[in-house]
A and B are shown apart, each in its own frame.
Chain A
Amino acid sequence: MTYEKILLTRDNGLATITLNAPDRLNAVSRKMIAEIKLCWEELAADDSVRAVLLTGAGRGFCAGADLADPDREASATADSGAALDKFFNPVIRAMRSIPKPVVSAVNGVAAGVGMSFALASDIAIAGKSASFLQAFARIGLLPDGGSTWFLPRLVGDQRARALAMLAPQISAEQAKQWGLIWDVVEDAALMQTATDIARKLAEGPTLALARIKDALNRSTGNDLSAQLDVERDAQRLLGKSDDFKEGVAAFLAKRKAEFKGK
Chain B
Amino acid sequence: MEETPVLAAVQSGVLTLTLNRPQRLNAMSQPLIAALREQIARAAGDSAIRAVLLTGTGRGFCAGADLAGSGTGAVDADGKPDLGAVMESAYNPLIRSIRELPKPVIAAVNGVAAGGGANLALAADIVLAARSARFDQAFVRISLLPDLGGTWFLPHIVGDARARALAMLGTSVPAEEALRMGMVWQVFDDADLMPEAAKLAQKMAAGPTLSYAAIKQAMNRAGTNSLDQQLDLERDSQRALGKSADFKEGVEAFLAKRAANFTGH
Contact = CB atoms under 8 A, between A and B. Distances in A.
Interface of A: 67-68, 75-76, 78-82, 84-85, 89, 92-93, 96, 136-146, 148-149, 151-153, 155-162, 164-166, 178, 217, 220-221
A141 B247 contact: yes
Interface string B98-136: 000000100000000000000000100111000000000
Contacts of A137: 207-208, 211-212, 215
Contacts, number: 163
Contact of A84 (B204, B208, B238): B238
B70 interface: no
Interface string B224-260: 1111101111111111111010111111011100001
B256 to A, nearest CB: 11
B169 interface: no
A161 B227 CA distance: 17
B238 A144 contact: yes
B153 interface: yes
B156 interface: yes
B211 A146 contact: no
Given A68-B255, A89-B235, A165-B125, A157 B156 contact: yes
Contacts of B241: 80, 140-142
Interface in B126-148: 126-127
28 contacts: A81-B238, A85-B235, A89-B235, A92-B231, A93-B227, A137-B207, A137-B211, A137-B215, A138-B260, A139-B260, A140-B244, A140-B246, A141-B208, A142-B241, A143-B234, A144-B235, A148-B218, A149-B227, A152-B219, A156-B159, A157-B156, A158-B157, A160-B219, A161-B216, A161-B219, A165-B204, A165-B211, A166-B204
Given A68-B255, A151-B222, 6 more contacts: A84-B238, A93-B228, A138-B250, A142-B238, A164-B219, A165-B212
A152 B222 contact: yes
Given A146-B234, A152-B156, A76 B255 contact: no
B33 interface: no
B62 interface: no
A137 to B, nearest CB: 5
Nearest to B237: A142
B43 interface: no
Contacts of B230: 146, 148-149
Contact of A80 (B212, B218, B231, B238): B238
B183 interface: yes
A76 B242 CA distance: 8
Nearest to A178: B182
B172 to A, nearest CB: 18
